[in-house]
Amino acid sequence: MKKASAKIGLILAFICLIFTGLLKWHKSVLLDELAEFKRSALEVLRQPLEDGHITVARNKLSVDYPAHFMLVAAMNPCPCGHYGDLKHPCTCTPAQRHRYMSRISGPLLDRIDIQCHIEAVQYDDLRNKADGEPSAAIRERVLKARAIQTERFRGTNIHCNARMTPSMVRQYCQLTADAEQQLRMAMDLYGLSARAYDRILKVARTIADLDAVAHPDQPVTDTLTTPQLLQAIQFRQLDRADWGE
């Protein structure tokens, strides 16, 4: 057990060195088939996702590595892969779906800002020859939104909305009365945690920044609107109590 734990720690430390310790910018980590990883290995990701660093401790030595990274993960909704698909009924039992989803712990899921259920691509969409929005245009919007954030946090060691401190969340994520009521209802209905509350507000703040890019004639304010908040809540689909049942 100690040998396995040490191996996991060393592997993660190596990943952190590759992606952050030896480079001057942050990187992304992609984990495909997330539920197929051992739960013990996934749980080690909780610290770097929360704190932006990872600590490897041994008998006489403790080393702290920088670990600011974006985690991107994908997984099937159940063992057979068809849960929620109306055209291909799921063949898994509720117990099988529960065991499958239980491989991803609640605390780890809490730390994933955006959780989306992706529907199967339809035939007409596959055959559609119309050009979609080019990546260059999307990149330009993202860069403009990041510029807004850079200006917002000028003079601090914060570089983006995701790294906001609690006091910054209170300052830059104010809510209208209706948005406040909607968030209260969502928290009660889905049983969301305090961590989910913070992350919903941070995602809503980013949505508001992208809205500001789309409407440059409107000033950027610290108040989030109801549509921006509801969109952020919709991005936490796996937090809902009925998922996988």
Instruction: Please classify residue 47 by burial: count the beta carbons closer than 10 Å to its beta carbon, then call 0-12 exposed, 13-18 middle and 19+ buried.
Output: middle
Q: The whole model's pTM is what? A: 0.83
pLDDT tens for the chain, 245 residues: list them.
Answer: 445 544 555 455 555 544 444 444 467 778 899 999 888 888 888 888 888 887 877 778 888 877 788 889 999 989 998 888 888 889 999 999 988 988 888 889 899 999 988 888 888 888 888 888 899 999 999 999 999 999 999 999 998 999 999 999 999 999 999 999 999 999 999 889 999 999 999 999 999 999 999 999 988 999 999 999 999 999 998 876 555 45
CB 158 within 8 A of CB 164: yes
Would you list the domain boundaries of the chain? 2-17+25-112, 135-239
Which residues does 201 contact at the CB level (< 8 Å), separation at least 6? 169, 173, 224, 232
> What is the CB neighbour count within 10 angstroms for residue 188?
9
Query: 216: number of CA atoms within 13 Å, CB side?
Result: 6
Q: How far apart are CA 122 and CA 112, in angstroms?
A: 28
Per-residue model confidence (pLDDT) at position 22: 43
Residue 243's pLDDT is what? 53
